[in-house]
Structure 1
Amino acid sequence: MYDQLVEAWNKMLAKLESWLDAVIVNLPNLIIAIVVFIIALIASKYVSKLVLKLLDRSNLQRSMKKVIAKLVSIVVILLGLFLILGILNLGKALNTILAGAGVAGLAVGLALQGALANTYSGIILSYIKNLKYGDWIETNDYEGEVIDIDLRAVTIKQVDNNLVYIPNKLVVENPIKNYSTTSQSRVILECGVGYESDLRMVKKLTVDTVVNHFKAVEKKDDVLFLWKGFGDSSINYELRFWINSTSALEVAKAKSETMMLIKDVYDKNDINIPFPIRTLDFPKEFNFANNSGES
């Protein structure tokens, strides 16, 4: 038993010595491989920046430029890895890696279906001209300004300054409302006045107020004023007009400003904006004094 242990120990030492000899022999190649790897990492960053500068002269969207720059950076690193395998005389290992790449790629694809779907959707979004940085959009029940589009998600900044990261797949598969597509946005305001009001006077005062305050509204015909119906406590109308803005936030501000202006004008002209009221009809024989005494 002792002799067997000694023999095994000697074989292990011999094997370690052979490995050490191989390391010493290949040490220059190993050092060169490390240097090449570091150079490849540094070169990938500089090449990515250079590609971005060159693409800035093109009409591609910013998101697409970033995608192309990242892909070029990855290609530079892969070329460096192939060069390292050649320096270390690992050609056979390279053939083995390439042979197993198909099976490994299939397994990785099945495991990363969601991530790959977001990546593919990110590339699609980068080609869409109607969705770009700075646009104010509404999608998947979220609304805000687009501040980033990468291979994973679309980042929007909401009115409250919070960031929302929406997976690219959801943005591609669901409707997108882009407020920045046109140069103007419509303000829609609903209100109501009391039944005792002069409806023609109400319409004139409301339209004049909008025309006099908003520069984008040049004439009265640009304002759409529609009576909608007789409500429980008021006669309701809808007011529509355009403003020079592509931001939903600016639309909300214009709507708020319009509400204040209309309220001031109505107060000066004794026009009532009623709140819901309830009228109680009591029988003629109903005696308030007797009922209050009983209570």
Structure 2
Amino acid sequence: MKEKFENALGKMWDKLDGWFNAFVVSLPNIILAILVFAIAALISKYIKKIAYRLASRTNLQESMKQLISQIVAILVIIVGLFFVLGILNLGKALNTILAGAGVAGLAVGLALQGALANTYSGIILSYVKQIKFGDWIETNSYEGEVVDIDLRVVTIKQVDNNMVYIPNKLVVENPIKNFSTTAQSRVILECGVGYDSDLEKVRNLVTSTIAKNFEAVENKTDVLFLYREFGDSSINFETRFWINSTSALEVAKAKTEAMIKIKSVFDENNIDIPFPIRTLNIPKPIDIANK
């Protein structure tokens, strides 16, 4: 038993000695490989900055600029790894790694279909011009300002200052209403007046009031005034005019201001804005006692 142990111990030392000799022989290659990898890492940082500067000269979204610079940096690192494996004479290991990476990539791709779909959609959103930082949009029943677009979600800041994170896939696959694509927004205001009102006078008062209080409206002919219907209690009309803003919040503020001004001028001219009224016709009571 002792002889077997000593024999096994001797073989182990021989093997360790062989490994040590191989390490000493390969030490220059190892040092060179470490040096090459360090140089590749430093170069990748500079290349990333240069790629970002070049991308900044284009009209790409910020997320796309960062993505391009990151991909370029990763490619430089990969090239450095190929050089390192060649210096260490690990060609066979390289083939094995590539084969394993292919199988692993397939498995990961199947497992991360949703995440990859969001990543692909994020790249698409980085290219399209219909949505960008600072735009006021409405999509997937959410409305707000676009504050970030990355490879996973689109971040929207709502009127109440809450953040909504919508997966890129949903934004790409669903309609987007962008309030910021034009320099102006239209305000639509609905109201009604009593049946005893002078309709021509109502129209003149509303259009002149809007023209006086909003800079984008040069004169009252720029205000679109339409009577819509004979309602149950009022004659309903609709007023449309433009403001110099693309924010839905500014549209709401303009609509509020218009309502205040119109109500004030109606009060001054004794024009009624009626609320729903129901009239009850009660027949003459029957005198049962006399009958």
1:133 corresponds to 2:133? yes
Question: What SS is found at the alignment partner of 1:95?
Answer: helix
Deviation at 1:267, TM superposition (A): 1.9
CA 1:126–1:209 in 2, change beyond 3 Å: closer, same or farther?
A: same
In structure 2, relative to structure 1, the CA distance for the partners of 1:227 and 1:286 (3 Å cut) is: farther
Aligned-pair CA distance for 1:82: 1.9
Q: Which residue of 2 aligns with 1:184?
A: 184
With over 3 angstroms needed to count, the CA separation of the structure-2 counterparts of 1:164 and 1:73, relative to structure 1, is farther
Contact 2:234-2:273 at 8 Å conserved across structures: yes
Aligned residues: 287
Inter-partner Cα distance in structure 2 for 1:167 and 1:186: 30
Bigger Cα displacement from structure 2, 158-167 vs 277-286: 277-286
- The 3 A distance-change label for structure 1 pair 252 and 43 is farther
1:81 and 2:81 correspond: yes
Deviates more, 1:57-66 or 1:105-114: 57-66
The residue type equivalent to 1:275 in the other structure is: F
More deviation, 25-34/130-139: 25-34
CA contact (8 A) 2:207 2:221 kept: no
Bigger CA drift: 121-130 or 200-209? 121-130
Cross-structure match for 2:235: 235
Q: For residues 1-295 of structure 1, what are the structure 2 equivalents within 5 Å? A: 7-8=7-8, 10-285=10-285
SS in 1 for 2:65: helix
Task: Tell me if the contact between 1:67 and 1:150 (Cα under 8 Å) persists in the aligned partners.
Answer: no
- Pairwise CA distance, 1:207: 0.8
AA paired with 2:75?
A: V
Whether the aligned pair in 1 keeps the contact of 2:37 and 2:80 (CA below 8 Å) is yes
Using the TM superposition, name which of 50-59 and 259-268 deviates more.
Answer: 50-59
Unaligned runs of 5+ in 2: none
Post-superposition CA distance 1:136-177 (Å, at most 9, x none): 111111112222222222222222222222222111111111
Q: Which amino acid aligns with 1:166?
A: I
In 1, distance between residues paired with 2:4 and 2:31?
39
**Could you tell me whether the CA contact under 8 Å between 2:225 and 2:239 is conserved in 1?**
yes
Q: Distance in 2 between matches of 1:51 and 1:199?
A: 65
Contact (CA 8 Å) 2:208, 2:219: kept in 1 or not?
A: no
**Aligned CA distance change for structure 1 residues 68 and 7 (closer, same or farther; 3 Å):** same
Aligned letter for 1:57? R
Amino acid at match of 2:136: W
In the alignment, is the contact (CA less than 8 A) between 1:145 and 1:157 conserved in 2? yes
Unaligned regions of 5+ residues in structure 1, if any?
288-295
TM superposition shift of 1:70: 2.1
Q: C-alpha distance in 2, partners of 1:214/1:175?
A: 31
> Cα offset for 1:209?
0.8
Q: CA separation in 2, counterparts of 1:45 and 1:162?
A: 36
In structure 2, the CA distance between the partners of 1:285 and 1:35, relative to structure 1 (3 Å rule), is farther
**In structure 2, what is the Cα distance between the partners aligned to 1:267 and 1:3?**
116
Question: Residues of 1 paired with 2:140 and 2:30: CA distance?
Answer: 52
Render the CA deviation track for 1:46-72: whole Å, top value 9, x for unaligned: 322222212222344434323322221
Q: Percent identity?
A: 69
Query: Aligned in 2, Cα 1:106/1:196: closer, same or farther, shift over 3 Å?
Result: same
Distance 1:7 1:269, change over 3 A: farther
When the two structures are superposed, what TM-score results if normalisation uses the length of structure 2?
0.86
For 1:209, give the aligned amino acid: T
Distance 1:208 1:90, change over 3 A: same
Q: Which amino acid aligns with 1:156?
A: I
Q: SS in structure 2 opposite 1:236?
A: strand
Q: Are the structure 2 counterparts of residues 91 and 264 from structure 1 closer, same or farther at C-alpha, using a change threshold of 3 Å?
A: same
One-letter code of the match for 2:214? F
The whole-number CA distance in structure 2 between the counterparts of 1:183 and 1:61 is 21
User: How far has the Cα of 1:20 moved from its partner?
Assistant: 4.6
Q: Secondary structure at the match of 1:188?
A: strand
Root-mean-square deviation (Å): 2.6
**What do residues 65-118 of structure 1 show as CA deviations (whole Å, max 9, x unaligned)?**
233222212212212222232233322111112233333322222122112222
SS in 2 for 1:70: helix
Aligned-residue offset at 1:212: 0.8
